[in-house]
Amino acid sequence: MEDLLAGKSISTGIDEEIIFEQLEDSSEAIWSLLLASGYLKVEGVSQASDEEDSIYLLALTNLEVRKSFRKMIQGWFKKASARYNDFIKALLAGNVGYMNQYMNAMTSSVFSFFDTGNHPSERTEPERFYHGFVLGLIADASLDYTVTSNRESGFGRYDVIMEPDDKGADAYIFEFKVRDPGSESTLEETVQNALAQIEQKNYDAILTAKGIPRRQIRHYGFAFEGKTVLISLGTGHFLP
């Protein structure tokens, strides 16, 4: 969905026999319905093998449709909870308990409409889905922060950074991970791997180069599995 709103394409299978009862469980049924309704167009098709279905490259048909989708998503956040800004307040206060409560309530009510994927290796790239969802939640932070995504810092590319306009305020780095059942037994392990990646790849570098001391940089790990979310705050640099 993030790619569609950015004017890009998505790759997915298509269910030619749409069954409305499957819309909450099948992303292919949803994309097929949007395609049949004229909201999406086919930009390319990869030839299917004997054992696999064809993969379609889909995009929104025009700018007006993209604007409508953006308004629809903004409407979800407004309707889902009157406490929308409370997520950012909890984030800034380090209230991880409330952040987890809020996120899991949101995912339960919203994620059923889209495919979040059951495995990180699936074609739908569920990590992008979660990434876009969290960016939507923190959109209001742009009043006091510069929010950037997927840029180089240290030895890799971070997921999200919130850089404060007030250099005396804290900065925030987010890393998102979808649990890999093959190597991670719990979401707690996944979220710790997310926090470890921030440290190992030195994502702080882009902020420290701008004069923000490490003690003012907060690390948040987000671990996802289906509609379940676990958020953890790193305990690294919090020194006077």
Mean pLDDT of 215-222: 94
pLDDT in tens, 150-179: 777 767 788 899 999 998 899 999 999 988
Phi, psi dihedral angles at 8 (to 5 degrees): -95, -175
33 contact partners, CB below 8 Å, separation of at least 6: 18, 23
pLDDT in tens, 169-213: 999 999 999 888 899 999 999 999 999 999 999 999 999 999 999
Q: Taken in order 214, 161, 111, 92, is the CA torsion positive or negative?
A: positive
Please report the pLDDT score of residue 132 as a whole number. Answer: 78
Instruction: Single out the residue of 221, 220, 219, 214 nearest to residue 237, CA to CA.
Output: 214
CA 109 to the chain's CA centroid: 16
Mean pLDDT of 99-124: 63
Q: How many CB atoms lie within 10 A of CB 115?
A: 20
Q: Which amino acid is at 99?
A: M
Q: Strand 171-178: give its sheet, edge to edge.
A: 145-149, 160-164, 171-178, 217-225, 228-233
**Which pTM does this prediction carry?**
0.61
Confirm if 22 and 29 have CB atoms less than 8 A apart. yes
Mean pLDDT of 97-106: 90
123 pLDDT tier (thresholds 50, 70, 90): very low
> CA dihedral in degrees (177, 181, 185, 189; nearest 10)?
-10
How far CA 197 is from CA of 31, 129, 183, in Å, comes to: 34, 20, 15
Please report the pLDDT score of residue 239 as a whole number. Answer: 43
Residue 19 predicted with pLDDT over 50 = no
What span, in angstroms and rounded, lies between the C-alpha atoms of 76 and 235? 33
Confirm if 161 and 153 have CB atoms less than 8 A apart. yes
36 pLDDT tier (thresholds 50, 70, 90): low
Please report the pLDDT score of residue 20 as a whole number. Answer: 45
Q: What percentage of residues in the chain have a pLDDT greater than 70?
A: 62
